[in-house]
Chain A
Amino acid sequence: MRRYAAPVIFLLPATCLIVAFFLAPVVTTLYLSLTDISVITFQNPQWVGMGNYATLLRDQFIGRIVLNTARYVVLTLLFNVGMGLVLALLSSSVHQRWGDQLRAVWLLPRILPPVVYVLIWQGLAREAPYGLIGTITGSSTSWITAAPWAVIVLANGLVGASFGMLIFTSAIRAIPADLFYASAVDGATTLQTVRRVVLPLLRWPIMFVTAYQTLSLLTSFEYILLLTDGGPGFYTTTVWSLHAYKLALSQYFGNVEFGLGAAMAAVLVVIGIVVSVAYLRIFNFRALVAEPKIEVN
């Protein structure tokens, strides 16, 4: 008994937090998704089994929403991770003073409230006379309607890339200078050093940023909501989480369907788990995790 005391004591606080703030909401969501709870049936929800899921499958726009979601997550992720890497590499290869300034500039959008940030985007990208670019070029097209995906990915990416940038920069800084010297003496060009030495050593941070941002992108919709509200037109840029939000919390006639929204959220949880496991596989997680540094016995 004694030998299990230490591990149990160490694990208990984290376990409590996970149960209270992670497991309990998931279970609640799963439960709600099996009922017809809505504003109307709030007092007395009925058990509907897989009914909500069947409704989702029958929805004629669901295919489009899935495609939109995939497009949103993949494009933004590519931009975020790719740009984060480029920024980290660039800002670590110039003089530190310039590097710090480059990174500081990229962090600016992150400290703006999202609503203000989106207002700035609208001020840039809308048609004349509302948008700056439109006004200067005298164009009457709004970029937000003409190229909604480009605007959404850029608006997300300009904020999101700085996350990867910070993580990758500190990871690059942690690589001993001798490795860069050795690689140069061994005959590598800068690009070869990046590809064959730096990137492999960044495998763990890259996986972390990719997984983390995939999950947050799957559930984030605030920029889309504020920029296009899922439009222009019918469901052009509506993603899964935005749809769930609208069904569950902000329907037109006030008939918000918690049950259906919960079903959509439950699907996201499953997708999140599947994607995480896939990443662990792809990046060969087991090889990344060293033997435990502290042995408990």
Chain B
Amino acid sequence: MKGIRVRLKGLAKHFGRVVALRTLDLDVRAGEMVAFLGPSGCGKTTTLLMIAGIYQPTAGEIYFGERRVEHLHPRDRDVGMVFQSYALYPHLTIFDNIAFPLTLKKIAPAEVARRVRQIADLLGIAHTLDRRPGQVSGGQQQRAALARALVKEPQVLLLDEPLSNLDAQIRVQARGEIRRLQQEIGVTSILVTHDQSEALAMADRVAVFSTGELQQFAPPDELYRRPANTFVARFVGYPPMNLLEGRYEPGAFVLDDLRIPVPPGHPAGRGWLGFRPEDATLDGDVPGRVTVAEALGRENLVTLRIGPAEVKVLVPQGRRPAPGTPARLGYRREHVHFFDASGRRVGA
């Protein structure tokens, strides 16, 4: 089985006066895994439910391959979906839950049983099949929901925060499992999450949303290295990128009475200067003063006040300056990010 290409064109959804999704154009390749990453309430679930056929779009088109599907009932779309709540049927056993989509297709009972057992074995929940959802653990429920979504071998798999109810350890393990399974089956998948490490670790490409709008759609390393605007710059990467708002003059960024020298390629007039804490040092030439120094384990995170702003700097473990001591900020010029006054990226 191979996944199918999914295209969204001018997709929008309004609930009365609430705009859940302004307009979205997205092209997901066959067999690709795409993550929707964004803060709470930005329209991720809404988009997923439109692709599944639960919500009618207010405007726009959805293509599976060459077929337009937005007028089709969910059962004619061939999608599998894992809900954030898992949405297992509480009155059915795990077996019957997984078998549910197959029995609706009038598949012979022997074949149903064979396929249910196969997927249950694959996901390691074969021993829970005769129990009800209330009688298995959260991780097992999550696998049962995934099994139910996959058992009918859909062309598109939709995952709405499938891991957010699991504890940290199982979560990292389940992350890898889902990714491996998805690549094995080759099903085109869309994963909704507001955990950036999950999105970066699992997806081929990540679509970053802010309220109702797509901000950037790119592979994880590109999101990290070339954020398209200040929203993505702030949202992706931890600790978040330092962003200073000021004015560009030839060869320098001016912040009140501080002048920070910058490499060529910068915009003119008002704008933003960005650099990540790991690209910053305490051995530069911009005068500042340490306010906080936190130990993160492998490194220390030092907060520095320079002029009117605060910046964060990651320093090796051995170095932990006391609050109040003066320090001089520097940064790696090759890893600098320029944004214009509206927050859009300038230059490479």
Contacts and interface: CB of A to CB of B under 8 A. Distances in A.
B90 A181 contact: no
Counting contact residues on chain B (CB < 8 A from A), the size range is 20 to 34
Given A176-B85, A186-B104, A201 B79 contact: no
Contacts of B305: none
A199 to B, nearest CB: 10
B216 to A, nearest CB: 29
Contact of B87 (A179, A189, A196, A201): A179
Interface residues of A, number: 18
B83 A178 contact: yes
B259 interface: no
Contacts, number: 60
Please classify the interface of chain B as helix (H, G, I), strand (E, B), loop, or mixed, using the class held by over half of its residues.
loop
Contacts of A188: 75, 100, 104
Contact of B49 (A176, A181, A186, A201): A181
B54 interface: yes
Interface string A196-224: 11001101000000000000000000000
Given A176-B87, A179-B87, A197-B89, A184 B54 contact: yes
A182 interface: yes
A204 to B, nearest CB: 10
Interface in A169-192: 176, 178-179, 181-189, 192
Contacts of A184: 52-54, 73-75
Given A186-B101, A187-B101, A201-B91, A181 B52 contact: yes
B148 interface: yes
Nearest to B79: A185
A200 B81 contact: no
Given A181-B54, A200-B91, A187 B75 contact: yes
A196 B103 CA distance: 11
Interface of A: 176, 178-179, 181-189, 192, 196-197, 200-201, 203
7 contacts: A178-B84, A181-B54, A181-B81, A181-B87, A182-B88, A187-B74, A187-B105
Interface of B: 49, 52-54, 73-75, 79-81, 83-85, 87-92, 100-101, 104-105, 148, 152
Given A179-B89, A186-B101, 12 more contacts: A176-B85, A179-B87, A182-B83, A184-B75, A185-B52, A185-B80, A187-B152, A188-B100, A196-B100, A197-B89, A200-B91, A201-B90
